[in-house]
Amino acid sequence: MTAMTRGRAGAAAAASSAWSPAVWIALVMLLLTATRARAEPATLPPAGAGPATGLADSAGLRATVFGTPPQDIASMPDRVPLTEIDIAMPWARPLPPLFWFDRRLRVWLSAQDKPAPLAIVIAGTGSDGNSANLSVLRAALYQAGYHVLTMPSPTFPRFIVAASSTGVAGDLMQDGHDLYAAMQRIIGHLPRKVRITDIDVLGYSLGGANAAIVKSIDANEGKLHIHRAVMINPPVSLFASVGRLDKLFAQSIGSGDEGVERLYRRLYAELANLYVASDRVQVDENFILNAAAAVLKTDADFSAAIALDFRLDLVDMFFAGDLYAGTGVVIDPRHPPTVSDSLAQIQRVLRGMPFSEYFSRVFAPYYLKHRPGATSASLIADNRLDIIGDALRGNPDYYAQTNSNDVILNSRELTWLKDTLGSRIVVYDHGGHLGNLGERRQVADMLDMLGGRWPLAPE
Amino acid sequence: MNTVGPSRFICAASLCAASLCAALGGCASEAVSFRSVPAADPAAENAAAAENAAAFAAAASTSDAAGTTEATQAAGETVPITPADAPSMYTYDPWSRLNRFTYRFNARFDEAIFLPAANVYRRLPSPLRTGVHNFFSNLSEVDSIVNYTLQIQFQRSLRSLGRFVINSTIGIGGLIDVAERLKLPGAPTGFSDTLARWGMHPGPYLVIPLLGPSTLRDGVGLLGDFGTTYGINIANLYRGDVSWGLDVADAVDERAHVNFRYYSSGSPFEYENIRFLYVRKRLIEDEGLRAKTKSKGASTTQQENDRNAPAGK
């Protein structure tokens, strides 16, 4: 559910050396997100009503992939100070040697030098606490006078390893509790010179739903006194949304790893031919940008890019879940791989596995065992925003921003959001999923909502 | 020359000690740590992104016309690469265990020493950093001149020579990239490209200590580049007393220009992903080098035979 934002197209610093990893990152992003795949017959059962692309039209798909055009971005400050905080969480599961590098949770703080409200921003599925989307939100919020704390998604591998109490990510309430505990610990460790007057939470995509859940947990526990919550492009039903992305993958790339391999071969050939024709001396960012324009053309291309982006996030989450839950799908629980073992084969198998496999083979077995009385149906129902529906309806401090052509929503879900939040939701007519994040209007509305100035808010 | 010995020894010893510390203590053990990193500059970043986007839009609008003419031009000269020609998704990595060890070592070294040094460097005023970067880029032109000559690409060799002469004189010893403004942009090459040009395959994947992802051929190429610059020893920069300092400055400058952080993906598959990327990037560049010489059409049949072999073999 992450968007390949403007960052994907242009964030990697211009690198002149043949040794530059930035170029490789840019290349892999293109290799993995650009495609000219032909439609394959779907092999997965259809997920919910409506098309796999949700409400997205052609423009919505393009906006989702390319992100907000830089010229539409709200005015940005010249300088945002940044402190990187690595912090251990005592409740984290024992550290598997394989994840030695993920021992402590990493979050980023931009502090004002005067007393100010704190805005905690949560990333979308599989994203780090320093993603391109978070950088835009951080800059906008800092400029508006907030301390800004950006956090990874609870589905990001480093969060799963360092801050999850279960290791099995994706459950809205469980992830919310882990996030809430992590926030308390981080705020407790902030230097005294960071003077906080108020706390608000916000998030984009899945992070939006996480933010609302965290606020509702805080309403019961009262440890942080979170004031307002803003959801940006949130899902309504997690499993319906990812089910559609599974379906999108099957349609645009094909099922299993053969689809990925076919896509890779086609892409390699296209890139190599462009490169040979280009008279360049190295594959650099500039080449990748030009190639992307030539390679990404049809709705199917953009659909494949969106589906693959999600799948790659899922691969990491699946791996961690299988390791922690001991479900043995790809990892033998008695002989987990060591730091020097090749993981190529495991990666290959996981690339071919949709979210439905994660649900039925890792997520459901784990939570059915640990949650007395739960059923598959109840697990699915627990992952809808309905679980805090009353709070969303009755509490004036919840807000949302979404788009009428969002990939992760269908019309019934959008209607539910509008009915539930009433005047506290704004629906833009463009942007797909996160393709207008950071836009002038989106930022201005977001700041009004956070500051309690949203014009239509009840007095 | 007598004074060189001890100073080098001290440098080497301190480097070893630092590496050891990095390897042993790379992961700090305290519960919380704060690290102030260079401030973000969203306004400038966004302006740069807007420029990129404009270039992208221009490319998109002309890619239909230009793309097809380029493609037909290419088709006239060379055989287009088909999906069947693409190398396997597997990468030839017989030294995987050693490579993984080196990768982990590099990650810790980077986190403990290299990246902090680069972050300090990033706080220097930007014109100063640009000057340093240009200075080292200009020095590397010497190696490019030699290798373009070895690749029988005399036009490019002349271009590198022209750049070197212009930047070393008008550009005050290479501090200003004047040639770039005269529409002579840099096009660096190295001994590895020369080897590729004469038909050498990348060979096994290789992670080089401190430097990172590479292949056997690129490693050999690196030694060749080192030998070339050391042999030519321009302005006695490579054998003088200050060589170590210059090497360190070059490395830190290079690191500061690379937007990469070990394990920022958090992914257990990072080694696999970087390996995949690096080798595909090099293979695509090889296609370009081969295409310039491929009038015989002999190499295509050879490729078909081993297309199921791991990439790089």
Task: Considering only the beta carbons, identify the residue of B42, B260, B285 that sits closest to A77.
Answer: B42
Closest CA to A282 of B156, B40, B253: B156
At residue A184 the predicted structure's pLDDT band, cuts being 50, 70 and 90, is very high
Cα(A151)–Cα(A180) distance, rounded to whole angstroms? 11
Please state, as a whole number, how many other Cβ atoms lie within 10 Å of the Cβ of residue B57. 13
Residue B84, domain member (yes or no): no
Find out whether A217 and A388 touch, Cβ atoms under 8 Å: no
How much is the pLDDT for B62?
61
3-state DSSP assignment of residue A56 = coil
Question: Measuring CA to CA, which residue among B309, B95, B281, B72 is closest to residue B204?
Answer: B95
- The whole-number pLDDT of residue A258 equals 82
Q: Is the pLDDT of residue A38 over 80?
A: no
Q: Which residues contact B222 (CB under 8 A, 6 or more apart)?
A: B190, B191, B192, B208, B211, B214
* Higher-scoring residue by pLDDT: A305, A183: A183
Query: Do residue A21 and residue B86 have CB atoms under 8 angstroms apart?
Result: no
| Interval A285-306: pLDDT, tens | 778 777 877 788 889 889 988 9
Contacts of B31 in chain A (CB under 8 A): 87-88, 104
Contacts of residue A189 in chain B, CB cutoff 8 Å? 32
**Residue ranges for chain B with pLDDT beneath 70:** 1-29, 56, 59-78, 293-308, 313
Q: Answer whether residue A232 shows pLDDT above 60.
A: yes
Phi, psi dihedrals of residue B44, rounded to the nearest 5°: -65, -40
**CA A219 and chain centroid, separation:** 25
pLDDT at B3: 42
Nearest CA among B41, B13, B36, B208 for reference residue B116: B36
A191 exposed, middle or buried (CB, 10 Å; 0-12, 13-18, 19+)? exposed
Which range marks the domain in which residue B303 is found?
A: 96-192+199-308
In chain A, which residue's Cα lies nearest the Cα of B85?
A269
Q: Is residue B304 part of a domain?
A: yes
Does the CB of A280 have a partner CB in chain B at under 8 Å? yes
Q: What is the pLDDT of residue A35?
A: 33
Quote the pLDDT of residue A65: 87
CB-based contact, B20 to chain A, within 8 Å: no
Cβ contact, residue pair A70, B52, below 8 Å = yes
Residue pLDDT, tens place only, A337-373: 999 999 999 999 999 999 999 999 999 999 999 999 9
- Cβ of A268 within 8 Å of Cβ of B71? The answer is no
Name which of B164, B191, B188 is nearest B177 in CA terms.
B164
B65 touches chain A (CB under 8 A): no
Whether residue A310 contacts residue A155, with contact meaning beta carbons closer than 8 Å, is answered with no
The string of pLDDT tens digits covering residues A47-92 is: 455 688 888 889 999 999 888 988 999 999 999 999 999 999 999 9
pLDDT score recorded for residue B207: 97
B34, β-bridge pairs: A85
Q: What is the pLDDT of residue A310?
A: 92
A31 contacts in chain B (CB < 8 Å): 277, 280
Q: Is B82 left (phi over 0), alpha (psi -120 to 50) or beta?
A: beta
Q: What is the DSSP letter of A384?
A: B
CA distances to A22, B48, B247, B285 from B59, in Å = 21, 16, 38, 21
The residue to which tokens 């001994």 are assigned: B191
Q: What is the pLDDT of residue A48?
A: 52
- In this prediction, residue A157 has a pLDDT band, given cuts at 50, 70 and 90, of very high
Residues A447/A75, Cβ–Cβ less than 8 Å: no
Task: pLDDT band for A446, please (50, 70, 90 cuts).
Answer: very high
Confidence (pLDDT) at A456: 61
**Three-state SS annotation for A134-174:** HHHHHHHHHHCCCEEEEECCCCCHHHHHHHCCCCCCCCHHH
Residue B68 inside a domain? The answer is: no
B6 lies in some domain: no
CB proximity A305 to B under 8 Å: no
Structural domain contains residue B286: yes
Pairs across A and B, CB distance < 8 A: 268
Per the CB < 8 A criterion, the answer to whether A40 and A255 are in contact is yes
**Nearest CB to A135 within list B42, B87, B260:** B42
Give me the pLDDT at residue B310, please.
75
CB contact under 8 A, B52 and A9: yes
Q: What is the pLDDT of residue A36?
A: 29
Q: Is A345 an interface residue toward B (CB < 8 Å)?
A: no
Q: Tell me the torsion sign for CA atoms A342, B89, B208, B24.
A: negative
Question: In whole angstroms, what is the distance from residue A436 CA to residue A279 CA?
Answer: 36
Q: Is residue A122 helix, strand or coil? A: strand
Q: Residue A352 is encoded by which pair of tokens?
A: 């071919």
Cβ contacts (< 8 Å) between B277 and chain A: which residues?
Answer: 24-25, 27-28, 31
Please give the pLDDT value at position A330: 95
Report the pLDDT value the prediction gives residue B294, as an integer from 0 to 100.
54
Q: How confident is the model at residue A18 (pLDDT cuts 50, 70, 90)?
A: very low
How far from each other are the two terminal CA atoms of chain A, in whole angstroms?
Answer: 34
Nearest to B103 by CA among A101, A315, A127, A162: A101
pLDDT confidence of residue B115: 93
Cβ distance of B52 and A292 shorter than 8 Å:
no
Please give the Cα distance from A152 to A150 (Å, whole number).
Answer: 7
Gap between the Cα atoms of A150 and A129, Å rounded = 5
How far apart are the C-alpha atoms of A373 and A381, rounded to whole Å?
14
Of A82, A281, A339, nearest to B40 by CB-CB distance is A82
How much is the average pLDDT of A313-335?
95
Min CA distance, A400 vs chain B (Å)? 25
Contact with chain A for residue B56, Cβ under 8 A: yes
Residue A4: is its pLDDT beyond 80? no
* B173 inside domain: yes
What pLDDT was estimated at residue B68?
45
Please name the residues between 78 and 137 in chain B that touch chain A, using a CB distance below 8 Å: 78, 80-87, 89-90, 93, 96-97, 100-101, 104, 107, 137
* Residue B78 pLDDT: 66
**How far is C-alpha A17 from the chain's CA centre?**
31
Summarised one tens digit per residue, pLDDT across range A241-257 is: 999 999 999 998 887 77
Residue A349 contacts B, CB cutoff 8 Å = no
Query: Which residue shows structure tokens 């002349």?
Result: B158
Please name the residues between 179 and 208 in chain A that touch chain B, using a CB distance below 8 Å. 189, 191
Do B173 and B135 form a contact (C-beta atoms < 8 A)? yes
Q: Which residue of B has its CA nearest to A155?
A: B266
- The per-residue pLDDT for A399 is 97
Does B71 reside within a domain? Answer: no
In 3D, which of A152, A170, A124, A122 has the Cα closest to residue A2?
A124
Residue A262 reports pLDDT greater than 50: yes
Q: Which residues of A touch B48 (CB under 8 A)?
A: 10
Q: Which residues of B are less than 8 Å from A68 in CB distance?
A: none
Classify the C-alpha dihedral B117-B122-B125-B128 as positive or negative. positive
Q: Considering the entire predicted model, what is its pTM?
A: 0.86
Phi, psi (5° rounding) for residue A273? -65, -40
> Which residues numbered 231-290 in B keep a CB inside 8 Å of some CB on A?
254, 257-260, 262-269, 271-274, 276-278, 280-281, 283-285, 287-288
Does residue B46 sit within a domain?
no
Number of domains in chain B: 1
What integer pLDDT is reported at residue A24 of this predicted model?
A: 45
